[in-house]
Amino acid sequence: MTNRSEKQKMLAGEDYFASDPELVAEHLRAQALLERFNRSAADQAGLRHALLSELLGALGEDTVIKPSLRCDYGYNITVGPRSFVNYDCVFLDCNTIAIGAEVQIAPAVHIYTATHPLDAARRRAGWESAQPVVIGDGVWLGGGAIVCPGVTIGENTVVGAGAVVTRDLPPNVLAAGNPCRVIRPLG
């Protein structure tokens, strides 16, 4: 059995230490790119695209992401074509965040993959883990929505503003609330 790196454990959804030197260096790299992106001028679309292409795992054609954006590593985030991410979003990408095509993400949406042990001693010791998040094609996340670790949102689903999504949502529904629940089917 070979020893796996903290990064490998992180991406496998296992407990890991974020203070690992490799992860710290990758986090600092992402923060430097984000700093440049977040202070870029509105008329610097080419620079913004170049910075996001360097930061993210994949950036779809005709996708727009507005500053400010916050994330941990960037390379775990993929965004499909023709998607739109509005101002002040936070994507904690300690595991993968897969955002589909033609997704609309309103201001101040938070997507979290990171989580911590319930056991206080393990939290104090620095352990954490992360679960992937999937946002299907055509989804609309309303302003201030929070998507928790391990959640999949089915295609064309609309999530109301301020919702806290703690479990998977099926395709083609309107969902809202805290905790978020299906209100009704769409179309």
Cis peptide before 68 (omega within 30 of 0): yes
Cis peptide before 179 (omega within 30 of 0): yes
Q: Which residues are catalytic?
A: 116
Strand partners, 58: 78
155-159: long-range pairs with CB below 8 Å, 24+: 155/100, 156/186, 156/187, 157/186, 158/186
d(CA 58, CA 79): 6
Asked if residues 80 and 99 have their Cβ atoms less than 8 Å apart, the reply is yes
Asked if residues 148 and 130 have their Cβ atoms less than 8 Å apart, the reply is no
